[in-house]
Amino acid sequence: MKPLKDEIRDSLAERFGIKSSELILLGGGREDSDGIVYTVTGNEKRQVLKISQAEDEKLVKSVLEFAHYLGSCGIHVSNPIRNTRGNIYEVAQDENTMYIATLMDFIEGRVPDANDLIHNEKLVYEWGKLTGKMHKMAKEYPVWKNANEEDPRYGFEAEIDSLSKMAPNEEIREKWEQMREKLRALPISRDSYGFIHNDNHQMNIIASGEEIAVIDFDCAECHFFANDILLPIQGLLFDVTGGMMNPISKPEVLKKFYESFLAGYRTENEIDSFWLEQLGVFLEYRRLLLYTVLQGWLSQDEQANAAFLQMIHNSCDLNVITI
């Protein structure tokens, strides 16, 4: 994220009835951040103001409206709050950058760690249940092919186009084209595809006891539901089981996780076993995506870059997580 000028921040805060003196930095604002978040101290309820860079206001509006829809359905998410003008977001622009601000209630709790994902079966069950609720309601939401309704392509194709442009070399662009063909071959219907969170990993959930809330809808897009089911194990793949930058070494941990997650998911939404057999494809997708968007780090770490590439080229372990 580019540095945020004080006058832009203050202008956006004012449109939500917030004074700059009431803002306390909570996080973000770094070069690699997708936004900057403040807690608001002047209101009765504790709230957060998030300001993000944006290129397409219509797309951001679509994503925020989906998050607001989930919140209005009683699903525990970071739900945008309307200001006195009836808006769930406000826009400001400097010479080269558009900024979008949203106000949300502060969600008390903590980000689960790897130990929680391994040992707290109830928490994982509730995470699955919440994901199932989101997918169930997505089936009833009118926008389901592409978050940008003006784009006739399916959302995964639009996402691949964007990621392919970011790819560091022709080899990775070719990998993205191969992935496009794999996803095009999958059946698409309202039972398998729709508006999803699309970044449903442990850093984007808040746990309070055994209750779960999902935050940060910045990456939300119309995509395969199976992608949201694969994403919860991202932390385990990095820190515990292997599978992201190293071969999977503890498949039993992943299978135990999914026993709890899917038990919760299926209380709200059924998923055909066909899609669980495709989780390896979506792991492959995630490896490519992270390799593409983390180039700022990987270009400075030859060892990590080589490890990531090795896993992208060696996909023989993908069937290990078949449930």
| Same domain assignment for residues 199 and 69 | no
Mean pLDDT score of the chain, rounded to an integer? Answer: 93
For residues 291 and 308, give the distance between their C-alpha atoms in angstroms, rounded to a whole number.
Answer: 7
The CATH number assigned to the domain holding 276 equals 3.90.1200.10
Q: What is the pTM of this model?
A: 0.93
Residue 63 CB-density burial (10 A; 0-12 exposed, 13-18 middle, 19+ buried): buried
Number of structural domains the chain divides into: 2
| Same domain assignment for residues 138 and 29 | no
Assign residue 195 a region: left if phi > 0, alpha if psi is -120 to 50, beta otherwise?
beta
| Same domain assignment for residues 70 and 121 | no
Structure confidence at residue 225 (pLDDT) = 98
For residues 100 and 55, give the distance between their C-alpha atoms in angstroms, rounded to a whole number.
Answer: 10
Give me the half-sphere count of Cα atoms (radius 13 Å) on the Cβ side of residue 110. 7
DSSP 8-state secondary structure symbol assigned to residue 77:
B
| Same domain assignment for residues 84 and 190 | no
| Same domain assignment for residues 93 and 120 | no
The CATH number assigned to the domain holding 19 equals 3.30.200.20
Domain residue limits at 59: 6-105
**Interhelix angle for 302-313 vs 279-293, to 10°?**
150
User: For residue range 219-256, what is the model confidence (pLDDT) as tens digits?
Assistant: 999 999 999 999 999 999 999 999 999 999 999 999 99
Question: Given 50, 81, 105, which residue is the final one in a domain?
Answer: 105
Give residues with Cβ within 8 angstroms of 275, minimum separation 6.
192, 224, 225, 226, 229
For residues 219 and 288, give the distance between their C-alpha atoms in angstroms, rounded to a whole number.
Answer: 16
Question: Given 105, 139, 157, which residue is the final one in a domain?
Answer: 105
Average pLDDT estimate for 253-266: 96
Assign residue 5 a region: left if phi > 0, alpha if psi is -120 to 50, beta otherwise?
beta
Token readout for 99 is 């900024």
| Same domain assignment for residues 49 and 118 | no
Token readout for 307 is 């490890």
User: For residue range 149-208, what is the model confidence (pLDDT) as tens digits?
Assistant: 999 999 999 999 999 999 999 999 999 999 999 999 999 999 999 999 999 999 999 999
For residues 231 and 214, give the distance between their C-alpha atoms in angstroms, rounded to a whole number.
Answer: 13
| Residue 58 resides in a domain | yes
Q: CA 104: distance to chain centroid?
A: 17
From the list 149, 226, 234, 236, the residue with the least C-alpha distance to 191 is 226
| Residue 41 resides in a domain | yes
| Residue 247 resides in a domain | yes
| Residue 86 resides in a domain | yes
Please tell me the total number of residues recorded for the chain in this structure.
Answer: 323
| Residue 1 resides in a domain | no
User: For residue range 278-314, what is the model confidence (pLDDT) as tens digits?
Assistant: 999 999 999 999 999 999 899 999 999 999 999 998 7
| Same domain assignment for residues 58 and 194 | no
Question: Given 105, 129, 149, which residue is the final one in a domain?
Answer: 105
